A and B are shown apart, each in its own frame.
Chain A
Amino acid sequence: MVLRSPLYENQVKLGAKFTEFAGFEMPIQYSSIREEHFVVRKKVGLFDVSHMSNVWITGSDAAKLISLTTVEDASRVDDGESQYTAILRENGTIIDDTIFMHLGEKFMMIPNAGMNQIVTKWLNEQAKKHHLKAKAEDVSREYVILAIQGPKSKETLQKLTETDLDMVKFFGCQIVKVAGVECILSHTGYTGELGFELQITPTKKAAVVFDALLSSGAEFGIQPIGLGARDTLRLEKAFMLAGNEFEGGRTPLEATLGWTIFWDHEFIGKEALLKQKEQGTYQRMTCLECVEKGIPRHKCEIQKDGTAVGMVTSGTLSPCLNVGIAMGYVAPDKREVGSILDIMVRDKPVKAKVMKPPFVPKDWAQKHEEIAL
């Protein structure tokens, strides 16, 4: 069965073109991927990301359960804060990357699309095994998730809420009212731009917020944005897409997510990571920018002097840079910044340079006012 967002009818009315992603029929684009991409970089865009999952974690040991099952020590995350982290198997590979929000006595976790049952089951199994008084509850289908992203996102949202958004810290989260509807607000996003995300329940109230945001942002040129631009926006910032970047089992060390690991606590997968760190021979996530024409894609081989040294996990044409960009795993001694590797696109090498992430810096839009919409 293909699932749809509760806002499906709204999407149809706005002229969305649909695609299937992780079991959901979601808008891939409304106008065009390029146009939507620049709308988010320069103005403001509204995403319906209800395909993402929602899991409540409750009980007196809720924080302990999160600490056990992720690379984060949840006791460090204060009430009103959220945190990006990864859930690992015993062998150190990533089950899913996620954000969890500390909301009073409870935590809400946002696993990726289609990961709700796997993550919920895993958390409950670990709670039982480790005798923790904590429970995970999958409420994914009870929530609509909206993301409002872009330099004008704060102004757009501020008109609809009495909460002073200047007082909401980056990665802060709290319950607010938007257009009269209670939402969980977080100062987070997946575009690298100023932005906020809203979790709305019951889902029948979401259309009010969706429409109010489109009206409020009209003066700034807001547009609804599909998954196509969501992918190009995140790739330009070298953000991970779980289904691509963790495919086949990758550890946070391989994914260069070492910065998310709080080593000073016990967690599932820690032993495997320590072993891998000591060996040090593992492939690492590497950013490549093409210096020749060609667009790298998922599963293109990466070569050095005709020998395979890695594989592309995500690739596209960067709308901002107008060159091919790729993320992929590369052998540790072949990924020095500035070195040139070959990405095999349809059996032909396309030269690409190893870059430091992100591909597109934070202030790109201000420096490129010549790209008009």
Chain B
Amino acid sequence: MTHDVRDGLKYTKTHEWVKLAGAKAKIGITDHAQHELTDVVFVELPTVGKEVKKGDELCVVESVKSVSEVYAPVSGKVVAVNTKLDDSPEIINSSPYDDGWLVELEVKDKTEVNTLLDAAAYKKL
């Protein structure tokens, strides 16, 4: 993988990242994913309070040409969404791991996070 992969984050094969802090997990899409999408022009975020199961559709990220689903890497309750993306979805392209986060989940079962890929394993994809 030629794109930026951050150490310390957990990853999915479908190119989401997870940053766990206590019981909360921030979720976004990887640098590779934003490169593939190019020009993110619209993000549909879930409503705060929504319960999601691992593998459920969490958000929709649209580029000019394509519509891509972002799946919940772990189960939990949506406690925050990045409302900045409503007006500036392109932040996902410029800052996929920081300002371009999508959703914060209250994680139901932290052991689920351990089943995700670490940076080294994600790089190998």
Contacts and interface: CB of A to CB of B under 8 A. Distances in A.
Given A28-B65, A231-B65, A317 B42 contact: yes
Interface of B: 38-39, 41-42, 44, 60, 62-65, 67, 86
Interface in A206-240: 228, 231-232
Interface stretch (A73-81, A182-190, A289-297, A352-360): A289-297
Interface residues of A, number: 17
A74 B67 CA distance: 43
B44 A228 contact: no
**In the A-B complex, the 9 residue pairs with the closest CB atoms:** A33-B64, A317-B41, A34-B39, A32-B39, A228-B65, A32-B38, A295-B42, A295-B62, A317-B64
23 contacts: A17-B38, A32-B38, A32-B39, A33-B39, A33-B63, A33-B64, A33-B65, A34-B41, A228-B64, A228-B65, A232-B64, A293-B86, A295-B41, A295-B67, A297-B67, A316-B64, A316-B65, A317-B41, A317-B42, A317-B62, A317-B64, A319-B64, A346-B44
B47 to A, nearest CB: 12
Interface string A29-51: 10011100000000000000000
- The B interface is mostly helix, strand or loop, or mixed, namely strand
Contacts of A17: 38
A294 B38 CA distance: 18
Contacts of B42: 293-295, 317
A17 B62 CA distance: 18
- The A interface is mostly helix, strand or loop, or mixed, namely mixed
Contacts of B39: 32-34
Contacts of A316: 64-65
Contacts of A319: 64
A29 B38 contact: yes
Contacts of A28: 65
Nearest to A28: B65
Contact of B60 (A33, A231, A346): A346
Contacts of B41: 34, 295, 317
Interface string A270-304: 00000000000000000000000111010000000
A351 B27 CA distance: 30
A17 B64 CA distance: 15
A46 B21 CA distance: 49
A325 B63 CA distance: 14
Contacts of B63: 33
Q: Please indicate which of the listed interface residues B62, B65, B67 has the most CB atoms of chain A within 10 Å of its own CB.
A: B65
A34 B64 contact: yes
Contacts of A231: 65
Contacts of A29: 38
Contacts of A228: 64-65
Contacts of A346: 44, 60
A29 B63 CA distance: 13
Contacts of A33: 38-39, 63-65
Nearest to B67: A297
A331 B64 CA distance: 28
A293 B41 CA distance: 11
A119 B67 CA distance: 33
Contacts of B44: 346
Contacts of A232: 64
Given A294-B42, A295-B62, 4 more contacts: A28-B65, A231-B65, A295-B67, A346-B44
Nearest to B44: A346
B81 to A, nearest CB: 15
Contacts of B67: 295, 297
Nearest to A226: B65
Q: Please indicate which of the listed interface residues B39, B60, B62, B63 has the most CB atoms of chain A within 10 Å of its own CB.
A: B39
Interface in A1-24: 17
Nearest to B57: A346
A330 B42 CA distance: 26
A293 B39 CA distance: 17
